[in-house]
């Protein structure tokens, strides 16, 4: 069909160029994932030890660019909204009405860059009193090392278990750890099926093979073995897939009673579309990530109905801050926005009850207090309570379901109002 | 029988996705073949095409498949403009300068899109997204079938353009020998502008065509860039026929590998083949065949 004479004059250099192009192309693909744009930091010379201050500095490090940028930006919206609300209500009253001054750094979606962003953030000007971040577990792991060394409390919504297994004294995890989330995702699904008169015996587990996906999948597998269920498929995939067809073929071929999926937005949408195209009607239990985002419903419309997901807080219980978020951003408050807002409320309440300008002192009080103000009150159980390892002992996973294109908390019955609907009934 | 069916289905899926790979890569090889410039911003032009298709289709309520030709035309104009303003001044510069220029352009496009549109995942809804065609017991997702059909049509049109039109022949002449072509009255600057425009047109059109089965966000170009370069280098830099065949080969290898290997390793066999091709065969798989045929013609 083609005469293909485009290269005949270049035969001699073809191999050299081919190698060079291959090398540069590969290097590009590997290094350019998420180009940092840096965060806007303002350093004010406020080094007073007096507890009556004009402002308290709160930092946030989030993935604002790259593959998890959207979750990072949602988180930032939640944090900004919480800061706005607290400042509008008079700031930290016990510290003379000190206002929270927020500064932001971009962790990108790359763990190595996240650590250097954190280092830069903490070495520049006066360090913040505490930091909220860094959304993704993979990023939080590297950021936590930096904040621990700098002795600055890191209030995190990362799930990974290992975060609280390091003996860190300045790390605080608001949501339940991955292992709890995985176990709940598995067991709640079994309970919901039983409640609907169904049974789940064969399960398929598919996950994005990053820190978050792998640790949660491991928990699911362990739970399945414990419950004596057959895992007919246990498959990881690159979070950068551009086509979910092959994975979905494997899912369909394995004929499961339920699909457990750990995915971010792009892969969750690709999976859902491919499942529909291959005619699957197997119930899907997502593991937070993409399954509970506004983009998920925007991309899929009615197709989201009946899909379940485990999450860290009940989206139809977000109250005032949820309503304020909807008004300001025109979409429902995502889980990561809420939980990060809760972290800001924890920070503010800790200072309110224990005025200090010393990070170590603040960390000590964060371990001692119980926090139930604002968004912290809409975390499961109604308050946040950290033990000495930084685990929120009060955290409890919630199963939500898309019903009429809204996220409704459906399990366990003692902390939610909604009722689960078994797909196809 | 069941296994045979699985293999057949995998090959079919591979051919569908492979033709998409060919379509997104062919512009890259065209630009290199004519201009000897590697456009590292090619993935970002795909993203631009996807955003263009998204906004055009939501604004006018039209399917991205209908809008694709218009996106292609807009892409052509954008490509021609970029060639005149950014590529033309560095056409004779050292290769490192050209790499920096196109890499920089890619970074600006991706981050520009992030600044303008935000880091959101956007996608369109079309009525056929959940549909499947069945043939001989095999199933084909409608979105992929339409994208593959577009790829075939574009390949035929491109072949006709390069082989049958005066302009296409002039473009090939420029690729073969710029000096001789110029002596015969062909304006190479015009050829370069059109070649770059065509390359960008093809990839932006591809962006529009694949939008129904995927979603768009500012950094999606990076997901495709590795595949693009694999296809183009495997096919032999500058070889359009090579890129088309390599696209299909990569698609089929990826798809077949998932039968045996975990999904997370789907690119491993592709890169093994890629590596072998680089080590064993100078300038891509097809060069051996091409060299042979050149010799044949001369004898």
What tens digit of pLDDT does each residue of A398-408 get? 999 999 999 99
What tens digit of pLDDT does each residue of B98-119 get? 999 999 999 999 999 988 987 7
B199 in contact with chain A, both atoms CB, cutoff 8 A: no
Q: Which chain A residue lies closest to B111 (C-alpha atoms)?
A: A35
What tens digit of pLDDT does each residue of A311-346 get? 999 998 898 999 999 999 999 999 999 999 999 999
Cα B86 from chain centre: 21
Tell me the chain B residues in contact with residue A32 when contact means C-beta distances shorter than 8 Å. Answer: 106-107, 222
Residues B232-260, mean pLDDT to the nearest whole number: 90
What are the domain boundaries of chain A? 55-176+317-394, 179-311+399-411
Tokens of A403: 């019903």
Contact yes or no for A247 and B263 at CB 8 A: yes
Residues B161-188, mean pLDDT to the nearest whole number: 90
When pLDDT is cut at 50, 70 and 90, the band that residue A96 belongs to is: very high
Contact yes or no for B175 and A9 at CB 8 A: yes
Estimate the crossing angle of helix B2-35 against helix A245-254, to 10 degrees.
180
Residues A369-392, mean pLDDT to the nearest whole number: 93
Phi, psi at A103, each rounded to 5°: -125, 150
pLDDT at A19: 65
Residues A20-27, mean pLDDT to the nearest whole number: 64
A420 has pLDDT over 70: yes
CA distance A332 to A322: 7
Smallest Cβ distance to B172: which of A5, A269, A303?
A: A5
CA distance B255 to B252: 5
A212 has pLDDT over 90: no
Domain A55-176+317-394 has CATH 3.40.50.2300: yes
Residues A157-176, mean pLDDT to the nearest whole number: 91
**Most A-contacting residue of B27, B31, B237 (CB-CB within 10 A), to test interface:** B237
When pLDDT is cut at 50, 70 and 90, the band that residue A356 belongs to is: very high
What tens digit of pLDDT does each residue of B27-40 get? 999 999 999 899 99
A11 has pLDDT over 70: no
Name the architecture of domain A179-311+399-411: 3-Layer(aba) Sandwich (3.40)
B193: closest CA of chain A, how far (Å): 16
Beta bridge partners of A73: none
Smallest Cβ distance to A3: which of B139, B142, B163?
A: B163
Number of Cβ atoms within 10 Å of the Cβ of B115: 11
Tokens of B17: 């996705």
Contact yes or no for A64 and B119 at CB 8 A: yes
Taking alpha carbons only, the member of A332, A338, A275 closest to residue A312 is: A338
Indicate the range of A21-35, A169-183, B229-243 predicted with least confidence.
A21-35
Those of residues 29-48 in B touching chain A at CB distance below 8 A are 29-30, 33-34, 36, 38, 40
What tens digit of pLDDT does each residue of A42-66 get? 333 333 345 789 999 999 999 988 7
Give whole-number Cα distances, A50 to A94, A102, A310, B45, in Å. Answer: 12, 20, 44, 55
What tens digit of pLDDT does each residue of A103-147 get? 999 998 888 889 999 999 888 878 899 999 899 888 999 999 999
Q: Which chain A residue lies closest to B114 (C-alpha atoms)?
A: A65
Going by C-beta distance under 8 Å and a sequence separation of 6 or more, which residues neighbour residue A357? A48, A49, A50, A51, A53, A56, A129
Smallest Cβ distance to A70: which of B120, B159, B240?
A: B120
pLDDT at A404: 94
Those of residues 19-58 in A touching chain B at CB distance below 8 A are 19-22, 24-26, 28-29, 32-35, 37
% pLDDT > 90, chain B:
54
Identical fold at A55-176+317-394 and A179-311+399-411?
yes
Instruction: Please report the domains of chain B, with CATH numbers, ordered by start residue.
Output: 2-298 (1.10.3470)
Average pLDDT, chain A: 87
Tell me the chain B residues in contact with residue A3 when contact means C-beta distances shorter than 8 Å. Answer: 162-163, 172
pLDDT at A28: 57
Taking alpha carbons only, the member of A196, A263, A275 closest to residue A236 is: A263
A390: closest CA of chain B, how far (Å): 31
Beta carbons of A209 and A236 less than 8 angstroms apart: yes
A24 has pLDDT over 80: no
Taking alpha carbons only, the member of A137, A294, A156, A106 closest to residue A208 is: A137
% pLDDT > 90, chain A:
60
Q: Which H, E and C letters describe chain B, residue by residue? A: CHHHHHHHHHHHHHHHHHHHHHHHHHHHHHHHHHHCCCCCCHHHHHHHHHHHHHHHHHHHCCCHHHHHHHHHHHHHHHHHHHHHHHHHHHCCCCHHHHHHHHHHHHHHHHHHHHHHHCCCCECCCCCCCCCEEEECCEEEEHHHHHHHHHHHHHHHHHHHHHHHCHHHHHHHHHHHCHHHHHHCCCCHHHHHHHHHHHHHHHHHHHHHHHHHHCCECCCCHHHHHHHHHHHHHHCCCCCHHHHHHHHHHHHHHHHHHHHHCCHHHCCHHHHHHHHHHHHHCCCCCHHHHHHHHHHHHHC
pLDDT at B176: 86
Size (chain A), residues: 425
Contact yes or no for A22 and B233 at CB 8 A: yes
Higher local confidence (pLDDT), B136 or A383: A383
Contact yes or no for B144 and A245 at CB 8 A: yes
CA distance A190 to B151: 45
């Amino acid at each position: 069909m083609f005469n293909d004479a485009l290269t005949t004059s270049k035969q001699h250099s073809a191999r050299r160029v081919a190698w060079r192009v291959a090398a540069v192309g590969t290097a590009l693909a590997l290094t350019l994932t998420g180009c940092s744009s840096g965060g806007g930091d303002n350093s004010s010379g406020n080094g007073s030890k007096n507890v009556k201050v004009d402002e308290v500095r709160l930092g946030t490090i989030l993935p604002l660019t790259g593959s998890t940028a959207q979750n990072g930006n949602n988180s930032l919206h939640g944090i900004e909204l919480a800061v706005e609300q607290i400042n509008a209500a008079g700031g930290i009253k016990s510290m003379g009405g000190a206002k929270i001054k927020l500064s932001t750094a971009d962790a990108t979606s790359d763990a190595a860059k996240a650590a250097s962003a954190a280092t830069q953030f903490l070495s520049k000007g006066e360090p913040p009193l505490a930091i909220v971040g860094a959304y993704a577990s993979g990023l939080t792991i590297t950021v936590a090392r930096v904040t621990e060394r700098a002795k600055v409390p890191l209030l995190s919504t990362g799930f990974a278990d290992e975060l609280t297994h390091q003996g860190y004294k300045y790390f605080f995890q608001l949501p339940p750890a991955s292992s709890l989330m995985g176990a709940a995702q598995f067991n709640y699904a079994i309970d919901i099926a039983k409640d609907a008169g169904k049974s789940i015996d064969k399960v398929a587990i598919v996950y994005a093979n990053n820190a978050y996906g792998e640790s949660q999948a491991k928990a699911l597998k362990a739970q399945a073995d414990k419950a004596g269920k057959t895992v007919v498929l246990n498959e990881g995939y690159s979070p950068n897939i551009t086509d979910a067809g092959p994975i979905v073929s494997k899912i369909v071929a394995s004929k499961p009673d339920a699909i457990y999926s750990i995915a971010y937005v792009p892969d969750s949408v690709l999976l859902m579309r491919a499942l529909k195209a291959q005619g699957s009607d197997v119930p899907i239990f997502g593991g937070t990530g993409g399954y509970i985002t506004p983009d998920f419903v925007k991309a899929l419309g009615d197709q989201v109905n009946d899909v379940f997901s485990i999450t860290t807080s009940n989206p139809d219980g977000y109250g005032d801050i949820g309503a304020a978020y909807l008004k300001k951003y025109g979409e429902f408050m995502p889980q990561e926005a809420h939980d990060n807002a809760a972290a800001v409320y924890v920070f503010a309440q800790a200072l309110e009850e224990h005025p200090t300008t010393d990070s170590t002192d603040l960390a000590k009080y964060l371990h001692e207090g119980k926090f139930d103000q604002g968004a912290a009150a809409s975390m499961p159980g109604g308050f946040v309570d950290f033990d000495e390892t930084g685990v929120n002992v009060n955290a409890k996973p919630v199963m939500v379901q898309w019903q009429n294109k809204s996220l409704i908390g459906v399990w366990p019955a003692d902390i939610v109002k909604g009722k689960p609907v078994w797909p196809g009934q | 029988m069941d296994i045979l069916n699985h293999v057949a289905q995998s090959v079919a899926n591979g051919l569908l996705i492979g033709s998409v790979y060919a379509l997104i890569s062919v512009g890259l090889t065209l630009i290199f073949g004519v201009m000897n410039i590697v456009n590292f911003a090619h993935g970002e032009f795909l993203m631009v095409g996807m955003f263009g298709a998204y906004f055009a289709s939501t604004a006018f309520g039209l399917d991205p498949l209908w809008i694709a030709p218009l996106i292609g035309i807009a892409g052509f104009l954008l490509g021609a403009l970029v060639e005149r303003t950014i590529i033309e001044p560095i056409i004779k510069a050292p290769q490192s300068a050209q790499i920096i220029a196109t890499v920089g352009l890619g970074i600006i496009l991706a981050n520009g899109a992030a600044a303008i549109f935000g880091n959101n995942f956007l996608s369109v809804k079309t009525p056929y997204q959940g549909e499947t065609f069945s043939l001989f017991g095999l199933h084909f997702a409608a979105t992929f079938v339409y994208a593959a059909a577009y790829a075939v049509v574009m390949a035929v049109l491109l072949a006709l353009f390069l082989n049958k039109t005066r302009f296409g022949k002039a473009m090939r002449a420029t690729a073969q020998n710029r000096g001789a072509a110029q002596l015969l009255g062909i304006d190479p600057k015009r050829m370069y502008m059109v070649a770059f425009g065509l390359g960008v047109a093809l990839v932006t059109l591809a962006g529009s065509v694949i939008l129904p089965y995927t979603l768009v966000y500012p950094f999606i170009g990076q997901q495709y860039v590795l595949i693009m370069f694999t296809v183009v280098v495997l096919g032999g830099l500058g070889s359009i026929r090579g890129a088309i065949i390599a696209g299909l080969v990569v698609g089929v290898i990826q798809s077949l590998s998932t039968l045996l290997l975990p999904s997370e390793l789907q690119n491993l066999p592709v890169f093994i083949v890629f590596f072998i091709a680089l080590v064993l065969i100078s300038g891509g798989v097809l060069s051996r065949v091409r060299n042979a045929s050149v010799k044949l013609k001369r004898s």
